[in-house]
Amino acid sequence: MEDPAYLAQWYRDDREGIETIMGIELPSELQSTMAFNTLLEKQQKQTAIFRMAYRDNEPIGFVFVTHISTEDRSGLASFYVAKEKRRYSLDVFREGEREAKRVGFRGFLVTIDQGNARMLKIVKRRGYKEIKHVMLVKEFT
């Protein structure tokens, strides 16, 4: 299966997880595909980075970085691990950090769903520090 097929399958298996990581509602597979295409377009414009993460040559998730600051070589990193591969969450995280270091990043800002205690534990073990701020969002209609 090609990488786009995995992304589509992950959407079908875990729509809520894909919506959470993308930060928007994706009511159809087509809209999910369009959201990934937008992310890949941003990568071509060098305003984002997107990488699939593999274990034994099989995709297990992906990492993307947005809000890239060329000033301090940092960005907002997002990590997704396929529902059936969650036991490999640390591998996806390591892959993202390796790639970031390879391209010269000095740090990441990571957002994690408050209810995801397992991922919070993983990132804290990786040396990430909790910021005492609340992030809020407002959608304009």
pTM of the predicted model as reported, rounded to 2 decimal places:
0.85
Across the chain, mean pLDDT equals 90
pLDDT band, very low/low/confident/very high, at 99 (cuts 50, 70, 90): confident
H or E element that contains 55: strand 49-55
Q: Which CATH number fits domain 3-125: 2.60.40.1180, 3.90.1150.10, 3.30.2270.10, 3.40.630.30?
A: 3.40.630.30
Is residue 62 pLDDT above 90, yes or no?
A: yes
Through-space distance between the first and last CA atoms of the chain, rounded to whole angstroms: 39
pLDDT at 137: 78
> What percent of the chain is modeled with pLDDT above 90?
53
Phi, psi angle pair for 23, to nearest 5°: 80, 15
Q: Is residue 91 over pLDDT 80?
A: yes
What confidence tier does 134 reach under pLDDT thresholds 50, 70, 90? confident
